[in-house]
């Protein structure tokens, strides 16, 4: 990011330029996680052959929220996407880390 020596940085303009790149990385992580779950579907002990679909359904909102946050035009819809990703990350933390 080029910085002018005279004046404050316009972080809103920077975010508007970089938003798609930021959320493309999040979407890429979701795709890689989905592919890893599919590729390892036969290696999970106790899983039936189609149980990987349930794991993908649980992760699907992350992909949807990343698309909303990265490519939606209305600001409120972007915030819905970001809020959805935040809620899902908190849920993952509570469910998988703390085993609530």
pLDDT digits (tens, 9 = 90+) for 1-41: 566 677 777 888 888 889 889 899 989 999 998 899 888 88
Looking at the domain assignment, is residue 43 inside a domain? Answer: yes
CA angle 53, 59, 65 (to 5 degrees): 140
pTM score of the predicted model? 0.74
Residue 1 within any structural domain of the chain? no
Q: What's the rounded mean pLDDT across residues 65-75?
A: 91
pLDDT the model gives residue 1: 55
Phi then psi dihedrals of residue 47, to 5 deg: -85, 140
Find the domain containing 33 and state its range.
Answer: 11-97
DSSP conformation class of 7: S
Scored b (16 or more CB within 10 A) or e, 18-35 reads eeeeebeebbeebeeebe
**61: in domain:** yes
- Where is pLDDT greater, at 52 or 28? 28
Per the document, the length of the chain is 100
> Looking at the domain assignment, is residue 4 inside a domain?
no
């Amino acid at each position: 990011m080029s910085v002018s020596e005279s004046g404050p940085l316009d972080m809103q303009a920077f975010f508007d330029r970089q938003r798609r790149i930021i959320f493309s990385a999040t979407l890429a992580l979701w795709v890689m996680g989905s592919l890893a779950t599919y590729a390892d579907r036969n290696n999970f002990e106790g899983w039936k052959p189609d149980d990987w679909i349930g794991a993908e359904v649980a992760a699907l909102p992350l992909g949807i929220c990343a698309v909303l946050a990265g490519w939606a035009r209305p600001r409120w819809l972007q915030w819905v996407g970001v809020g959805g990703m935040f809620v899902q990350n908190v849920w993952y933390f509570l469910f998988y880390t703390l085993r609530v």
